[in-house]
Amino acid sequence: MKKLILTLLIGLLCVSIHANDSLTKDFVTGNPEIGSINAMTFGPEGILFLGDSKNSQIVAVDMSSAKKATNEKLYLKDIESLLGELLGADSDQVQIIDMVVNPANQNIYIGAQHSSGKSFLFLVNNNTLENIPLNAVSFSKTAVTNVVKPDAKDRRGRSLRKLAITDIQFANGRIMVSGLNNAEFASTFRAISFPFTNTQKDSSLEIYHAAHGKYETHAPIKTFMTTNINNEPHIIASYTCTPLVVFPMKDLTPGEHTKGRTVAELGNWNTPLDIIEMTRDGKRYILMANSNRALMKFKVSDIESFSSTLTTRVKERAGTDGVHFINLPFVNVQQLDKLNDTEFVFIQREANGKLVLKTSSNRWL
């Protein structure tokens, strides 16, 4: 009997220790007051991270108890009409900002913004959309400091504040954030420890932009991912017009200025939108969606074998250089994410003008 009681006590102690070790143990329930959803990513334990440029914050939302969606034959047609119906608005008043997959259960979430400026989160379920309220959730959040000011404008008079946070990813116990700050070297990268602390420093970035023929420090990373290159942790990032740059993680020292290595120029008059990694037959590939070009495919092995860096301007307008890539027959892809080991999910503007969500497999790799 004593042995049984001791076993039960040990079991309860283990459960207690495990619960206390949870990344959500300090979360609170309430309204995180999200001003905008500019970027999304998932971390461990079903935690959804939201990048909020308007309120200059990163919000972590516990989605571990969310129901598993039913998406056996995933095809969502005319998403804009669905959003319009849900929000009581015309389809042209709603814009999709980001899409992300929870790798724990393959739930697909879409972040959208109404023309009024209010942001919404939706779950793709049974080939329709469900509104996910964010006014009473389990969450934790941290301010992103020294971001570009709310009234800052570019040379064309457009607001720069939405670029305070351009993309986020979770890796190695940190939430990584790209965007613009208010310093001399505006392009910045942050690695924020999670669970959140009060310590935060920026790394300013510099790259060679082969389409422009010069080094630049003001353009922010538009999309990035983390991966190993030659067995070392790296950031693979892309900027508008469209350089592909790698940064060794060990070089991204908080508070320091870092120069990236430009491994490809993919053609100007274009903005990268999403970048993911897929595998097939043991080989690794990078897929990148773009505003004005087809879905691009790169072999990670080609990036690994490209040891130099671009330092001269491309000769032709819209010309390319550096690491080889292939244009896949997917055009007007606006959002992209990995669904599972063999499939990716994407949102695409089809020839009939409709915005649809569908999947494809790694046979294209």
For the segment 162-218, what is each residue's pLDDT rounded down to a tens digit? 999 999 999 999 999 999 998 766 999 999 999 998 777 788 999 999 999 999 999
Instruction: List, in sequence order, every beta strand (DSSP E) within 128-256.
Output: 128-131, 137-143, 167-171, 174-180, 187-193, 203-209, 214-216, 223-229, 232-238, 243-248
> For residues 264 and 197, which has the higher predicted lDDT (pLDDT)?
264
> In the predicted model, what is the mean pLDDT of residues 245-268?
94
Confidence band, pLDDT 50/70/90 cuts, at residue 5: very low
> In the predicted model, what is the mean pLDDT of residues 88-93?
88
Confidence band, pLDDT 50/70/90 cuts, at residue 11: very low
Q: Could you read off the pLDDT of 272-306 as tens digits, one per residue?
A: 999 999 999 999 999 999 999 999 999 999 999 99
d(CA 190, CA 166) in angstroms, rounded, equals: 12
Q: Could you read off the pLDDT of 102-120 as tens digits, one per residue?
A: 999 999 999 999 999 999 9
Instruction: List, in sequence order, every beta strand (DSSP E) within 14-103.
Output: 28-30, 39-42, 47-52, 57-62, 75-76, 94-102
Q: Could you read off the pLDDT of 12-42 as tens digits, one per residue?
A: 434 433 444 699 999 999 999 999 999 999 9
Instruction: Out of 80-89, 129-138, 178-187, 258-267, pick the least confident.
Output: 178-187
Write down the pLDDT at residue 184.
Answer: 67
Write down the pLDDT at residue 183.
Answer: 77
With a cut of 60, say whether residue 9 has pLDDT above it.
Answer: no
Write down the pLDDT at residue 126.
Answer: 92
Instruction: For residue 248, say if its preceding peptide bond is cis, omega within 30 degrees of 0.
Output: no
Q: Could you read off the pLDDT of 142-153 as tens digits, one per residue?
A: 999 989 999 988
> In the predicted model, what is the mean pLDDT of residues 232-252?
96
**Other CB atoms within 10 A of residue 157 CB:** 6
d(CA 9, CA 121) in angstroms, rounded, equals: 42
